[in-house]
Amino acid sequence: MNDDWKLEFRKVWDRGVAAWHAGADPRKKMFAPADVAFLEGLGCTAQELFDFVDDSLRSDDLDFATALR
């Protein structure tokens, strides 16, 4: 298996960061349906990724590399 999923995960992460800065509500359309489907294929929910992004931006407890692992 190649590592293309990691590049896509980074793009989804970056879109999540942008949505967070724009005040997106995680219970509503923070991620596009294609992003949600991609995350689900990895075994990650949109809520889980929102939580990672939120933790990263609010308290600097977590970064992208940690979320990727």
Per-residue pLDDT at 23: 87
Q: Which of 63, 21, 68 is nearest to 42 (CA)?
A: 68
The model carries a pTM of 0.88
What is the amino acid identity at position 69? R
Query: Which pLDDT belongs to residue 27?
Result: 67
Q: Which amino acid is at 49?
A: L
Residue whose structure tokens are 């999540």:
16
**CA–CA dist 8, 20 (Å, integer):** 18
pLDDT tens by residue, the chain, 69 residues: 588 999 999 999 999 999 999 988 776 778 999 999 999 999 999 999 999 999 999 987 788 998 888
